[in-house]
Chain A
Amino acid sequence: QKEVEQNSGPLSVPEGAIASLNCTYSDRVSQSFFWYRQYSGKSPELIMSIYSNGDKEDGRFTAQLNKASQYVSLLIRDSQPSDSATYLCAAPPSGGYQKVTFGTGTKLQVIP
């Protein structure tokens, strides 16, 4: 089982809708999770991190973490065509080491 799993998509949503991106992880000890956005030909850029169960909001983005279900998601409200990108979920493996493992990414297409 991969450490971090995502549906590769593409996920297509109309402009103005809510985009929901999901990620599951296998390591129950993982304590921190990160969402990245990567435009084609560019390096990943951090959207937000989440450490505690529940929701964390930042502008149009909301990260949700459920450690019991080993599930983390990212909601994008009022999706814009500029949100079209690949979204990567990342988590550090257990053991306190600082490296992170990335999921395969979900490609989001926002249709005008």
Chain B
Amino acid sequence: SAVISQKPSRDICQRGTSLTIQCQVDSQVTMMFWYRQQPGQSLTLIATANQGSEATYESGFVIDKFPISRPNLTFSTLTVSNMSPEDSSIYLCSVRDRVADGYTFGSGTRLTVV
């Protein structure tokens, strides 16, 4: 199955700053998905990242706050911009994994904004 390397694993950031999260997949994938998981909650899809086109954002999420890059078929970044304590969450990237017959996740980035 696909292996996803996600960095950083955790970070503590000052409000008003930005953090960029990276995901590297060991195989080429058409779509990469970015999720947020707030404490004690389930996963909420932020956006879908396609190579060569702009990301598609879900309701409640905007590009200015969560810009995404997808320079090639194995890599994507999510930036959390102008952070506030409400952005404290776990951020996860995911890909459709046809070998595993499901969706595989990165190890997650635990973000704390102070």
Contact = CB atoms under 8 A, between A and B. Distances in A.
B42 A103 contact: yes
A90 B96 CA distance: 13
B108 A43 contact: yes
B95 to A, nearest CB: 10
A88 B100 CA distance: 17
Interface residues of B, number: 20
A98 B102 contact: no
- The SS class assigned to the B binding surface is strand
Contacts of A105: 42
Interface residues of A, number: 20
B102 A49 contact: yes
A104 interface: yes
Interface of A: 34, 36, 42-46, 48-49, 88, 90, 97-105
Interface of B: 30-31, 33, 41-43, 45, 48, 92, 96-97, 100-108
